Structure 1
Amino acid sequence: MAPSWTRTWAAALLFAVCIGGGWSLPVQGKETWGYVDVREGAHMFWWLYYADSSSFKDLPLVMWLQGGPGGSSCGFGNFEEIGPLDTDLEPRKTSWVSSASVLFVDNPVGTGYSYTDSEEALTKDVAMVAADMMVLLREFFNKQTEFQSIPFYIFSESYGGKMAAAISLALTKAVQKGSIKCNFAGVALGDSWISPLDSVLTWGPYLYSTSLLDDYGLMEVTRAAKAVQEAVEQGQYEKATEQWSITENVVEQNTNGVNFYNILTQQDDELMKSSLNDNGYLSAMKFRHIRPLHRQSLSQLMNGPIRKKLGVIPKNVTWGGQAEEVFESMSGDFMKPVVDIIDELLAAGVNVTVYNGQLDLIVDTIGQELWVKKLNWDGLKKFSQMKWTALEDPESAGQTGAFYKTYKNFAFYWILKAGHMIPSDQGQMALRMLKMVTLQE
């Protein structure tokens, strides 16, 4: 098993000088990282930042799970969204480390710095993902005993939310059995792939309502989406994943290339260039939902100065090197819903939060609202009858930044002016939501 490293950067000024690639690493707070061998031939990497506080024990512990599957929490979530530094290694004003200790995990194995000795060791479904995570969390809390009593939350994004649901259920059972010692306080599902079919079936109506499809386009997208539905209803999930990718092509052809992550922004030129592999093409599904999490500048950072800083990454491991294989290995699980798991979590008394960006297409808010209405949760009727509450935009006084509604152990946040990556689009609003979910305000 690879060792973990801990450094307090106030006492490690050597890391504040240039270590290659033209970058320098500023002095930061206490952090630690390492590997856990979750199975034979399967090695998972984690990276913890202690909260920026006189006492981190006064603040919660948050684990962040990225999407894909194949997106790196330690890379994208850390440097592009909520970590203490951005990709230019400048301090992030909206870092979640200001309000919590943050644990990034490259999950599933094969993602980011995590790796497997062979493709056979890659995960096939969220059950395997959850089982691996239980091994990591057991190891983490046994070694970092100071976090056993601190409220522990799982926050997630995209496919990370689907994994977070399964992980939360497994963790709830593990805590009850006493096999993992932690104070599990809840799970938050951001723009999450909980009910894939509800998302796909609402792409057409959502785009039509925002004037991004005409009648002909709506007809074409609806026809393609129905093919996905047919495959799902027949239990042909790998075919459903293929049809999902075809539907996305139809969407792009009829919208002049709408950005699935934020309908009001253009596709990134850097990503368009990186979409071409040695053979001149990359499949649509990998390009759209794996490559955006591994843009060239981030890859250079992670495989350059950050790799040198960490000092524990095996020579044969490249950050993001197995990402596409991770996606392919999970393709048979990709279109399966996990709404039943959310019901189990709610019935078990677990605090569940759903939050979604107004401008997201891939996991549109309309689709999220549809699966929520299918819950068997006994509080659903009361929740549905409640009026939502407006939240002021922290960056624009007097303007609404979000709406939210909560009843018993379920909450929903509608984040305005944000797409799929809410912390990137609306950092201040995301930070306020974090504080509300973790009961800091």
Structure 2
Amino acid sequence: MGKSDVVYSVLLCVVLFIQLINGGLMVNAARTEDGSEAWGYVEVRPKAHMFWWYYKSPYRTEDPKKPWPIILWLQGGPGASGVGIGNFEEVGPIDTFLKPRNSTWLNKADLLFVDNPVGTGYSFVEDEKVLVKTDDEAATDLTTLLIHVFNRNVTLQNSPLYIVAESYGGKYAVTLGLSALKAIESGKLKLKLGGIALGDTWISPEDFVFSWGPLLKDVSRLDKNGLVQSNSLAKQISEELEAGNFVEATDTWSRLEEVISSNSNSVDFYNFLLDSGMDPVSMTASELTQQIAIKRYSRYLNSLRSVNISSLDVICSTKGTEAWVEKLKWDGIKTFLSMPRTPLFCGGEKITKGFFKSYKNLHFYWILGAGHFVPVDQPCVALNMIGSITQSPITSK
């Protein structure tokens, strides 16, 4: 039995509370006796059911002066399971071998995992016609889930929620942040939004594809011929995005990956020090290429707390993320860009693990020695980072 089989076996045990009634499907929420875990389904739309799993931190405090944070983890893909990958592979209390994880983010906050969008993991639809077709539709479903989970729980309402996302999940985080703020302001959602953290996020496809060739040429995974081919296809993608030809841009994006793979002897897009297939965490769905209008997301900077990037990632590279940040329509961007960085250390060692820069509500982390999955590659610095982002009362774990 492989690692993924272990995860699915565990999750199968979790969802045994499903009951068939009169030929239909009725699902009730459940929890452990001590209240340390709760899980269940929310019918976010007719015939569309979203699965969630909540962990209460054993270190949770109820000091109103230092509110205890909750992290909502959104996985990438699109279509990868947060309950499976984010939970067992990266930050949950136990790993895929059912062993305790010392670096679990429960040391700093409560954790809420969701299989998003519907149709992912244990979230399901009764009719394929109700699958979401846009990020905005996914955000509406997630907002509906938050309303059901938070509006009936005063304890959760008193805790700031931080939407933390990885890869394509960052696009969900942005659209959810805007949707949640609107629901909060209208009184539909009883929740304190603490901020949004974008981890190695596929937020600007155009900036990323233009970065791939130069990055891989600089680290010798591509030669000049490979660079020329890569840049040519990146330009074609940009033109197709500008024309609104998103399907064509996605096809060209696939060709670009093939060109890079063939010219680099199959570099791992999640870690350029590895060959394809060597990364310990494998994603099960491809990242779809589509243009993100920068102006659309400038509003969320008032809630954004963090962007973090890893130095070895290709798919969501440092170069591409920095190019996107420099385009943000924010009156503080010039000051932010001119500021010096602060080095990050971990565990008492004086070995540089990364860098950090902060101005007003924008906090930016550069994590060294990490590929696409920062909590796996650099668990210590990732734990310290999330504690800082969420302003966790616990500083020693």
TM-score (norm 1): 0.79
SS in 2 for 1:180: coil
Alpha-carbon distance, 1:225 to partner? 1.5
**Residue type at the aligned position of 1:49:** Y
Alpha-carbon distance, 1:390 to partner? 0.6
SS in 1 for 2:50: strand
Map 1:1-400 onto structure 2 (within 5 A).
2-8=27-33, 30-53=36-59, 55=61, 59-268=68-277, 292-294=282-284, 334-346=289-301, 349-392=302-345, 394-395=346-347, 397-400=349-352
Distance in 2 separating the partners of 1:396 and 1:255: 38
| Contact map agreement 2:305 2:389 (CA 8 A) in 1 | no
Ranges in structure 1 where 5+ consecutive residues have no aligned partner: 10-28, 272-290, 295-323
Distance in 1 separating the partners of 2:317 and 2:252: 18
Percentage of matched positions with identical amino acids = 43
Map Cα deviations across residues 317-356 of structure 1 (whole Å, 9 max, x no partner).
xxxxxxx6xx7xx95xx4121533431112xx21331101
Counterpart residue number, 1:303: none
Distance in 2 separating the partners of 1:213 and 1:186: 38
| Contact map agreement 2:268 2:279 (CA 8 A) in 1 | no
**Residue type at the aligned position of 1:429:** V
Change (3 A) 1:396 1:416: farther
SS in 2 for 1:81: helix
Distance in 2 separating the partners of 1:86 and 1:266: 24
Quick check: 1:420 aligned with 2:372? yes
SS in 2 for 1:353: strand
Flag the structure with more relative contact order, 1 or 2, with Cα contacts below 8 A and sequence separation at least 6.
1
**Residue type at the aligned position of 1:371:** W
Change (3 A) 1:244 1:98: same
| Contact map agreement 2:249 2:290 (CA 8 A) in 1 | yes
Distance in 1 separating the partners of 2:41 and 2:367: 35
SS in 2 for 1:32: strand
Map Cα deviations across residues 234-277 of structure 1 (whole Å, 9 max, x no partner).
11011111111111011100000000011112333699xxxxxx
Distance in 2 separating the partners of 1:68 and 1:172: 25
Alpha-carbon distance, 1:293 to partner? 2.9
| Contact map agreement 1:165 1:338 (CA 8 A) in 2 | no
| Contact map agreement 1:402 1:416 (CA 8 A) in 2 | yes
| Contact map agreement 1:62 1:102 (CA 8 A) in 2 | yes
**Residue type at the aligned position of 1:412:** F
Distance in 2 separating the partners of 1:175 and 1:374: 28
Change (3 A) 1:236 1:355: same
SS in 2 for 1:111: coil
Distance in 2 separating the partners of 1:415 and 1:369: 14
| Contact map agreement 1:417 1:426 (CA 8 A) in 2 | yes
Map Cα deviations across residues 11-47 of structure 1 (whole Å, 9 max, x no partner).
xxxxxxxxxxxxxxxxxx8100000001111110000
SS in 1 for 2:119: coil
| Contact map agreement 1:345 1:352 (CA 8 A) in 2 | no
In terms of fraction of residues, the more helix-rich structure is: 1
Change (3 A) 1:379 1:270: closer
Alpha-carbon distance, 1:117 to partner? 1.4
Counterpart residue number, 2:9: none
Counterpart residue number, 1:405: 357
Alpha-carbon distance, 1:396 to partner? 6.9
Distance in 2 separating the partners of 1:67 and 1:161: 7
Distance in 1 separating the partners of 2:335 and 2:60: 41
**Residue type at the aligned position of 1:171:** A
Distance in 2 separating the partners of 1:269 and 1:356: 20
SS in 2 for 1:376: coil
**Residue type at the aligned position of 1:389:** T
Distance in 2 separating the partners of 1:39 and 1:193: 27
SS in 1 for 2:99: coil
Map Cα deviations across residues 296-316 of structure 1 (whole Å, 9 max, x no partner).
xxxxxxxxxxxxxxxxxxxxx
Change (3 A) 1:270 1:126: closer
| Contact map agreement 1:166 1:341 (CA 8 A) in 2 | no
Distance in 1 separating the partners of 2:245 and 2:295: 19
Distance in 2 separating the partners of 1:69 and 1:132: 15
**Residue type at the aligned position of 1:360:** D
Distance in 1 separating the partners of 2:38 and 2:293: 33
Quick check: 1:439 aligned with 2:394? no
Ranges in structure 2 where 5+ consecutive residues have no aligned partner: 1-25
Map Cα deviations across residues 395-434 of structure 1 (whole Å, 9 max, x no partner).
5711111101110111110011011111111111110000
Distance in 2 separating the partners of 1:408 and 1:264: 35
